[in-house]
Amino acid sequence: MRLEFSTKISAADREKAACIAVAVFEANRLSPAAAALDRASGGQIRTLLHSGDLDGKPGTTRLLYRVPGIAAERVLLVGMGKEKEIRAKEYRDGVRAAISAARETGAAQACLYLTQVAVAGHDAAWKARQLAVVAGETLYRFDQMKSGKAEARPLQEIVLGVASRRELRPVGLGLAAGRAIASGLALARDLGNLPGNVCTPSFLAERATQLAKEFKLAVEVLGRDDMKRLGMGSLLSVANGSREPPKFIVLRYRGAGKQDRPVVLVGKGITFDSGGISLKPGADMDEMKFDMCGAASVLGTFRAVAEMKLKLNLVGLIPATENMPGGAASKPGDIVKSMSGQTIEILNTDAEGRLILCDALTYAERFNPQLVIDIATLTGACVIALGHVCSGLFANKDALAREILAAGEDAWDRAWQLPLWDDYREQLKSNFADLANIGGRPAGSVTAACFLSSFAGKYPWAHLDIAGTAWKSGKEKGATGRPVPLLTSFLMRRAKR
Ligand code: BES
Ligand code: MN
Ligand code: ZN
């Protein structure tokens, strides 16, 4: 059941919706919509604020029923922080709190007056887009593997109340983009959350094929024989330890003329990472089903881009395989030959992400790309460096790095740049092959990126290490869908140029 969104010109005090939500600020300040309710109710809203029951901090809410003088059945007051200091974070926290509070009521429809709040540096379209994304994120549930029937949710429709005609168009456009991003996010989260015995390389290929049918994309799925023919010895070496056949998925979206060089997105698709012969320890190994979240983010981004009909050409490459310790698995010390011709000494079979990505990066050359971005849950070291707040970013062109950082800020799905200096390359030297697949403990994320850069010399390239951002552990364990918002924001801005 998909959430419906719409926009209308509406005065909060006269709106007949089952639930309306208006912003209040710290120091007992009211948004214009809250002030209108206050006037119509003879001062009820101010009385509540002065009682000290709501302090206006971002993320706090109070629900009122049948307020005299107000047409709506429920009034939800939403704290947004200090009126003059509302930035992306405060706005998103307020929206998230409003949506979860509205979800707890029996209201089927909620009319929100939150896009009227001033957010520093952002316009109405941005506010509407973020609202749709945050609403989708907040209402998302993954219960397709549970046998009980899905929890019923009354909330089905969200209306954005705007003050004037002038706002209808930007808010409507922002909503449309936000809806597309939310559906891409949900797809990425679903694929990430599915267990390894369901979400196999073949399953990913099937879902990519479905997506292609639905949105008229071109899709091609290469099998083991194709990979052999192409000389993808590095990717194949990872697949050798598994009974699941590997797949190399190629998706193409055409939103611009033939002569327009495509952006290529490459997603790591390890559907389960046991570590291989360099077996991982048992604790939390289940979370290695999330090792295909890079691939999922590529599919999610395709969905969002196709729904938005962005005017650019996009290619998606997904090398998909399990990393398992079978009898034919790679052993530490094995040397394989990549599609690029470079030989690799596999010193640790758990550094498999780079082994499948390197062949995909070489394959990307045939599309004559304007740029390539790979997305991968690549290193535990990235989680140590940056935690779960931002993704690690590396690029062989600074202008591209800056563009991606800005897109991440805009989407509030942030990244932080780490160095890709040649000094670190020392660590990847092998006595027996062109490259070793590990560079020791120091700067593990950097040496992993350096490894990849040896295969991405022919085009502007960036690498996003999403090991810390693609999923959450603990009580809220589950895929986040990141960095679908960052990638779609990047592509929206590219398409506009
Ligand atoms: N998929 C893992 C990275 C990972 C680990 C992401 C934990 C999130 C949480 C990757 O394939 C891996 O195992 N990397 C190794 C590399 C090492 C052997 C050089 C790692 O990070 O330990
Ligand atoms: Mn691994
Ligand atoms: Zn991995």
Residue 206 pLDDT: 98
Q: Residue ranges of the domains in the chain? A: 4-163, 183-495
pLDDT single digits (tens) 288-297: 999 999 999 9
Q: Identify whether 195 is preceded by a cis peptide bond (ω within 30 of 0).
A: no
280 catalytic residue (yes or no): yes
353 close to ligand 1 (CB < 6 Angstrom):
yes
Distance 380 CA to ligand 2 centre (A): 9
Q: Rounded to the nearest whole angstrom, what is the distance from the C-alpha of residue 278 to the centroid of ligand 2? A: 9
- Can you tell me which atom of ligand 1 is nearest the CA of 353? 11
Taking the C-alpha atoms of residue 246 and residue 275, their distance in angstroms, rounded to an integer, is 16
Phi and psi at residue 331, to the nearest 5°: -110, 150
Q: Quickly count: other Cβ atoms within 10 Å of residue 118's Cβ.
A: 12
Report the separation in Å between the CA atom of 314 and the middle of ligand 2, taken as the mean of its atom positions: 28
Query: What pLDDT was estimated at residue 496?
Result: 78
Q: What angle do CA 324, 326, 329 make, to 5 degrees?
A: 80
**Residue 387 and residue 145: Cα distance in Å, rounded?**
29
Q: How far apart are CA 220 and CA 275, in angstroms?
A: 28
Question: Which ligand number lies closest to the CA of residue 285?
Answer: 1
Say if CB 427 and CB 338 are below 8 A apart.
no
Catalytic hit among 46, 82, 280, 472: 280
Position 152 scores a pLDDT of 82
Output the pLDDT for position 427.
98
Give the DSSP letter string of 453-472: HTT-TTS-EEEEE-TTTSEE
Distances (CA, A) of 20 to 68, 91, 110, 318: 14, 17, 6, 44
In 3D space, the residue among 152, 154, 159 whose CA is nearest the CA of residue 21 turns out to be 159
| Atom 7 of ligand 1: nearest residue by CA position | 380
Greatest CA separation found in the chain?
82
DSSP 292-327: GHHHHHHHHHHHHHHHHT-SSEEEEEEEEEEE---T
**Six token digits for residue 254:** 């055409």
* Alpha carbons 458 and 114: distance in angstroms, whole number: 46
Q: Which residues of the chain have pLDDT under 50?
A: none
Please write down the HEC assignment for all residues of 376-390: ECCCHHHHHHHCCCC
Task: Give per-residue pLDDT as tens, 253-299.
Answer: 999 999 999 999 999 999 999 999 999 999 999 999 999 999 999 99
- Cα–Cα dist 415/206, whole Å: 31
Cα angle for residues 363, 365, 371 (degrees, 5° grid):
115
- In angstroms, what is the span from residue 242 Cα to ligand 2's centroid? 14
DSSP letter at 167?
Answer: G
Q: Which of 311, 297, 490 is nearest to 406 (CA)?
A: 490
In single-letter form, the type of residue at position 219 comes to V
Annotated active-site residue in 92, 247, 354, 414: 354
Tell me which DSSP letter residue 375 carries.
E
- Specify the pLDDT at position 2: 77
- What's the CA gap between 101 and 64, in Å, rounded? 12
Ligand 1 closest atom vs CA 268: 1
pTM: 0.98
Pocket of ligand 1 contains residue 480 by CB under 6 Å: no
Least Cα distance to 140 among 90, 177, 103 occurs for 103
Q: What confidence score (pLDDT) does residue 150 get? A: 79
d(CA 175, CA 178): 5
Amino acid identity at 309 = K
Two tokens, residue 79 = 């704290």
State the architecture of 4-163 in CATH terms.
Answer: 3-Layer(aba) Sandwich (3.40)
Q: Does ligand 1 lie within 6 Å of residue 351's CB atom?
A: yes
- Ligand 1 centroid–CA 262 distance in Å is 30
The half-sphere exposure of 424 on its side-chain side, counting CA atoms within 13 A, is: 21
Q: Match 């700067």 to its residue by tokens.
A: 443
Ligand 1 touching residue 348 (CB < 6 A): yes
- At 9, the amino acid letter reads I
Give the per-residue pLDDT at 238.
Answer: 99
C-alpha neighbours within 13 Å on the C-beta side of residue 192: 37
Would you state the structure tokens that stand for residue 388, as one six-digit string?
């779960």
Nearest atom, ligand 1, residue 437 CA? 19
Annotated catalytic, 127?
no
Q: Which-ligand-closest: CA of 332? A: 1
The CATH label, of 3.40.630.10, 2.40.128.50, 1.10.240.10, 3.30.160.20, for the domain at 183-495 is: 3.40.630.10
Residue 404 C-beta-side C-alpha neighbours within 13 Å: 29
Residue 211 tokens read as: 């997506």
> Atom 8, ligand 1: which residue's CA is nearest?
467
For a pocket test of ligand 1, which of 286, 344, 346, 350 has the largest count of ligand atoms closer than 8 A to its C-beta?
350
Residue appearing with tokens 């938005």: 308
125 CA from centroid of ligand 1 (Å): 39
Looking at all shown ligands, the one closest to residue 448's CA atom is 1
CB of 292 within 6 A of ligand 1: the answer is no
Phi, psi angles (nearest 5°) of residue 267: -120, 130
What's the DSSP call for residue 265?
E
